[in-house]
Amino acid sequence: MIRVLIADDQAMVRTGFGMIIGAQPDMEVVGEAADGVEAVALARRLKPDVALFDIRMPKMDGLEALRLLAGPGVAEPVKVVVVTTFDLDEYVHQALRNGAAGFLLKDSGPALLIEAVRAAVSGDALISPSITVRLLEHLSPPAPSTDDGGLSPREIDVVKLAARGLTNAEIATQLFISVGTVKTHLGSVQTKLGARNRVEIAAWAWERRLVG
């Protein structure tokens, strides 16, 4: 079972996330926290496989709690996915610097939440597609490279759509393939490019001007 800790100061949000996690046959909620201090204490005691943290919490915000549990120099980092209403660039950058294993908006929907938990467990980091696109729009890409990274034409198709911020399900619909096939392609792309997550795959595409 994937053991999940939920930290959010709103009881309704904790309940909602708990129902989504609890509906998965291979996941269970092992604890809930209403503030950052309690979240850190519970994470250290329960050692969950994944923790879902809000940013704005009383006593200690989610970014500081994240730093204490997963930041630079932490011996046994906890895999923390930040799930928040606020997608300010400074929050995203700080969360990733502090060791976040994902960054989602609360309106991303149940499917993406579950996907983010599974990605964190497997060592990947899922970032909300809309955030990915906005972060990459700030890049000033170099001259387009002819290097295709050894990717197949179909993998290039998947990368282009991922870089535009489409979810796996949306990519599958566009290319008339299954979600499982999209995941297989993205896994192959990560290996070939040496990318750690979807953001780095998208950055590779933007740097080569594969995305308009």
Q: Per-residue confidence of the chain (212 residues) as pLDDT tens digits?
A: 989 999 999 999 899 999 999 999 999 999 999 998 999 999 999 899 999 988 888 888 888 888 888 877 778 888 888 888 766 666 777 777 777 877 888 877 788 888 888 888 877 667 776 666 666 565 545 555 566 778 999 999 999 888 777 778 888 999 999 988 988 998 899 889 887 667 677 778 877 777 76
Cα dihedral value 112, 115, 119, 122, nearest 10: 170
The values of phi and psi at residue 166, to 5°, are: -75, 145
User: What is the per-residue pLDDT for 196?
Assistant: 65
CATH annotation of 134-207: 1.10.10.10
Write down the pLDDT at residue 103: 81
Domain segments of the chain: what residues? 2-127, 134-207
With a threshold of 0.85, does the pTM exceed it? no
Q: What is the CATH number of domain 2-127?
A: 3.40.50.2300
